[in-house]
Homo-oligomer: A and B are copies of this chain.
Amino acid sequence: MNEPVFVIPLWADLIAVGLGGIQGALFASGFRGDRRLDFLGVAIIGIVVGMGGGLIRDLLLNVTPTTLQSNWYLLTATGAALVGMLLAGVFQRVNAVILGLDALVIGMFGAFGTSKALVVGLPPVPAIFVGVCAAVGGGILRDVIMGLPVAIMHVGSLYAVAAGVGCLVLAATHALGVDIVVASIIGIVVTTVIRLLAVIFDISLPEQRALYRRKVAVETTAIPIIKP
């Protein structure tokens, strides 16, 4: 399967990878005690967050990973992780920087994922799915490798929703005839804004609920209730 001329310019891709690398390093450098990471661990997390989204996207599309076709991706992700690590003290005082960075990175990975999937010929629903996986995949890999609870699975995130709405808007505007580059920019903006608003106003999804009384149901079920 050879993809035709594709739309993501190298510089845009490298910006996403670099921002992801910085974000990953900032995250990783917040750990102490038994979970503290050495230089290498921080670099690995930077690479995972910076490159994970693109790798997952290309695995799902069954195309050769773009991030491995050039030396620049790994050099950018590693360099960004080192910068992030050294400047962690500064950035962590400016919490808004971390959150803004994170929102932008999700938006970019999501938009690149969905637009590449559309160009490769996927129908809109799986194209949106690929975008969401690309947006949140780096974070999931990061959490799994660090042995943390996967952030997007727990109440209060709106993380994947922000990515999903941005990718949906991208696919919809593109279906309406808007150029894929313009549609991608719209998608990035939508995701970033939703994510930032969700953080600022502390919005979260309602907890799941069933049509029947849960207390009784749970007490009679054989499915184990796992306690941490």
* Chain A interface (Cβ < 8 Å from any Cβ of B): 1, 26-42, 44-45, 55, 58-65, 67-71, 73-75, 85-90, 92-93, 95, 98, 117, 122-126, 129-130, 140, 144-150, 152-157, 160-161, 204-208, 210-214, 216-218, 220-228
Q: Is the CB of B26 within 8 A of A208?
A: no
Interfacial chain B residues near A217, Cβ < 8 Å: 88-89, 92-93
- Bound Cα distance from A155 to B146, whole angstroms: 13
**Are B34 and A210 in touch, CB under 8 angstroms?**
no
Q: What is the copy number of this chain in the assembly?
A: 3
**Once the chains bind, are A85 and B210 in contact (CB under 8 Å)?**
yes
What are 7 pairs between A and B in contact, CB < 8 Å? A27-B223, A37-B153, A37-B155, A58-B62, A69-B126, A92-B220, A95-B221
* A71 close to B124 (CB less than 8 A): yes
A206 touches B39 (CB 8 A): yes
A123 to B69, Cβ gap below 8 A?
yes
* A177 CB → nearest B CB, Å: 20
Given that A208-B37, A221-B30 are known contacts, is A73 also in contact with B154, CB under 8 Å in the complex?
Answer: no
Known: A37-B154, A39-B206, A71-B126. A92 touches B223 (CB 8 A): yes
Chain B residues with CB under 8 A of A34: 154, 228
CB of B228 within 8 A of CB of A74, answer no
Does B218 contact A92, Cβ atoms closer than 8 Å?
Answer: yes
Kindly list 17 other residue pairs between chains A and B, CB separation below 8 angstroms, not including A38-B207, A147-B149.
Answer: A26-B223, A30-B218, A30-B225, A32-B225, A35-B228, A38-B157, A38-B204, A40-B161, A55-B60, A58-B62, A69-B122, A70-B123, A71-B123, A74-B129, A89-B212, A144-B145, A146-B153
